[in-house]
Amino acid sequence: PSAGAKGTSLLLVERGMPGFEKGKRLKKLGMKAQDTSELFFDNVKVPAGNLLGGEGKGFICLMEQLPWERLQIAIGAVAAAQAAIDWTVEYTKDRKVFGQAVAAFQNTRYKLAELQTEVQVARVFVDKCCELVNVDKLDTATASMAKYWCSDLQCKVMDECVQLFGGYGYMWEYPITRAYADARVQRIYGGTNEIMKEVISRAMGLGGR
The one-digit pLDDT tens for each residue of the chain (209 residues) are: 655 546 789 999 999 999 999 999 999 999 998 999 999 999 999 999 999 998 998 988 888 889 999 999 999 999 999 999 999 999 999 999 999 999 999 999 999 999 999 999 999 999 999 999 999 999 999 999 999 999 999 999 999 999 999 999 999 999 999 999 999 999 999 999 999 999 999 999 997 66
CATH code reported for the domain at 2-52: 2.40.110.10
What's the CATH code, domain 58-203? Answer: 1.20.140.10
Distance (Å, whole) CA 156 – CA 183:
10
What pLDDT sits at residue 142? 98
- In the chain, where the domains are located: 2-52, 58-203
Strand (E) or helix (H) holding 74: helix 58-94
The β-bridge relationship of strands 37-41 and 20-25 is antiparallel
Q: By three-state DSSP, how is residue 136 classified?
A: coil
Cβ contact 91:108 at 8 Å: no
What is the crossing angle of helices 106-134 and 140-165, to 10°?
Answer: 160
Active site residues: 69
